[in-house]
Structure 1
Amino acid sequence: MKVFSTSIQALEKGIQYSGTKHKAISDNIANVDTPNFKRKEVSANFGEVLRQTLQSKKTDNRHLEFSKGNPNQPFKVTTSSNSYSHNGNNVDIDKEMSDMAENQIYYYTLIDQLNGKFQSLQNVIKGGRS
Structure 2
Amino acid sequence: MLEQIMNSPNFDYLGRGLQAANLRHEVISNNIANVNTPNFKRSAVNFEDLLAKEMHLGDSSRRVQMVRTHDRHLPMAMTGKVHAVIEEDGTTTMRVDNNNVDIDIEMASLAKNQLYYNAMSTELGSFMTKMKNVITSGQS
Identical residues among aligned pairs (%): 32
List aligned pairs for 1:47-62, cutoff 5 A. Answer: 50-51=53-54, 53=55, 58-59=64-65
> Judging changes above 3 Å, is the alpha-carbon distance between structure 1 residues 28 and 83 closer, same or farther for their aligned structure 2 residues?
same
Structure 1 runs not aligned, ≥5 long:
61-70
Contact 2:27 2:44 (8 Å CA) reproduced: yes
What value does the CA root-mean-square deviation take over the aligned residues? Answer: 2.2
1:42 counterpart = 2:51:
no
1:79 counterpart = 2:67:
no
- Give the TM-score, by structure 1 length: 0.78
User: Is the partner of 2:4 in helix, strand or coil?
Assistant: coil
The Cα shift of 1:8 comes to 1.0
Contact 2:28 2:110 (8 Å CA) reproduced: yes
Structure 2 runs not aligned, ≥5 long:
57-62, 67-79
Letter in 1 for 2:18: I
Contact 1:36 1:88 (8 Å CA) reproduced: yes
Contact 2:5 2:131 (8 Å CA) reproduced: no
Q: Distance in 2 between matches of 1:105 and 1:45?
A: 15
Q: Distance in 2 between matches of 1:9 and 1:84?
A: 38
Q: State how many pairs are aligned.
A: 117
Q: Distance in 2 between matches of 1:118 and 1:9?
A: 12
Q: Distance in 1 between matches of 2:102 and 2:50?
A: 30
